[in-house]
Chain A
């Protein structure tokens, strides 16, 4: 938005040139609609929004309460005679190479992937968002320092950095994987937030707030951030999926979650050995992983379309 008061020639309209009656007649009784309400309206009508939302809700419930979906323990009762066995009663997906029930492993594997995805996304969004907002809003020395530090982390691709750090870390849990991924991914969000805040802080309503004597910090929190957060939300939704893929890649390489943690990445890696004889052992965890990632990607797409007025007009 252009700042209309910053032109070289100031022009103040004569009082009788200003149609005050027209201004007075604008109905202000209803609360102004926020851009998020508009976005909600745009999303509500799209089937893909509801499909992805239901999928995500289901995945979250599976991750939180795996016992609701299966009575079979994923690591107990594995019998070698069942190795790579096909589906049978009570075991709809068949058995792994070790003779464990694939269905229960897929169900219990959700927790690790979802934990890593959500935790890393929350960390990156909160940390990167706050840093980017402060740097963009206050500018100056803080901005310079933060941007240079961000450049350094940005120069290291997330998964490459995670490979280095994970290959030397002594403890590997979903939390450490999420922390490591977040450590290398925050500059992306920080950059987006910074750019968005810089664009928003010169808007007229900010100038108006300054004129009214609102404190700087309050302006940032109340006015600038809500108007600058949309691009961050879009990237965060999509990156949740990419974090889940990153965790699976690390686990496949053997430096993500340790083998005793139930995880789709680990199961896919182990199923590779018997791909020629029992491809279904690989298929189920891979399908679960891809469906999860797909749900978040589709949601991200819908949210982006809804929050971007340009895209909304185009559709």
Chain B
């Protein structure tokens, strides 16, 4: 097991460098002068330009610039925003909020998705199953931001059940509605995945054996069907962390949450390319680590999978 973790971490290294190089290359090899973008209409004096070029290593070749950038990431220095705040400072403030939001969303989608998917799978072809399928398809086809507008309008503006925008410090009760919005698409996927998986396992030999040897239905469902059906769902949850982060950009933008996503949203709106890049780079790293974590969880859940000793 430890050998496997070590191997996976080693595999992560080239992917990490590749991905950051890719992002860096995309952004900084493009035409356009970053300093001109910094000053807008009136060009600054030459001495200021020279100082900035020196400060940001713009006179060095591309690969040296990249190494400075990666060195910065590894030592926790992620550069500064246009307004002069260190990105790592901003990240430290924003990350706990997004983490809370994402955990809440993950909790909602996992609990509700698995519950609905399980019931639908057990009653395959019945009314509940058919409506769960239709609702899940609808939820997937409506973009997150539209769901966000509608729920915000209905529950906050019309019914007044929640605050329209999230207050400072983002208390949990304010995050409930955004978390539901963030969870909708993944909820739908989990319903479909759990349903298909449960329906498959219902016909498996081990379930027939369990029923035949006289186990109660509750035990068959809980221990034999559910546990085996959760394996693909766990894998999905790992991949889903990536889409949760994209969703967080949209959701936090709509609900005015000062998390990682909200910061990226504001930076996009203001056209602050470097801030967007450094935040998204951090998101990509989180995504890679989360995928690793899920792979390990996968082994814990499925006794058939034992990584090479």
Residues of A bordering B, CB below 8 Å: 148-149, 151-153, 155-157, 159-161, 163-165, 167-170, 241, 245, 248-249, 252-255, 265, 268-269, 272, 275-276, 279, 282, 286, 289-291, 293-294, 297-298, 301, 314
Contacts and interface: CB of A to CB of B under 8 A. Distances in A.
B298 interface: no
Chain B at the A interface: SS class = helix
Interface in B228-251: 242-243, 245-246, 249-250
Given A170-B32, A252-B250, A279-B153, A297 B141 contact: yes
Contacts of B271: 167
B146 A157 contact: no
Nearest to A301: B137
B44 interface: no
Contacts of B23: 156, 161, 164
Nearest to B281: A164
Contacts of B14: 148, 151-152
8 contacts: A149-B18, A157-B246, A157-B283, A160-B287, A167-B268, A254-B269, A265-B143, A314-B203
A164 B288 contact: no
B245 to A, nearest CB: 7
A163 B31 contact: no
A175 B145 CA distance: 23
Contacts of A255: 268
Interface residues of B, number: 46
B82 interface: no
Q: Which of A155, A248, A301 has the most CB of B within 10 A?
A: A155
Interface string B258-296: 000000110011010100110010011001100000000
Contacts of A241: 140-141
Contact of B273 (A167, A269, A289, A297): A167
A268 B145 contact: yes
Contacts of B245: 157, 160
A141 to B, nearest CB: 16
Contacts of B243: 157, 159
B142 A286 contact: yes
Interface of B: 14-16, 18-19, 22-23, 26-27, 30-32, 137-138, 140-146, 149, 153, 157, 199, 203, 242-243, 245-246, 249-250, 253, 264-265, 268-269, 271, 273, 276-277, 280, 283-284, 287-288
A153 B268 contact: no
A294 B15 contact: no
Contacts of B280: 160-161, 163-164
A152 B203 CA distance: 39
Contacts of A275: 149, 153
Nearest to B147: A286
A314 to B, nearest CB: 8
B227 to A, nearest CB: 22
Nearest to A294: B141
A254 B137 CA distance: 27
Contacts of B269: 253-254
A169 B30 contact: yes
Contact of A160 (B15, B138, B283): B283
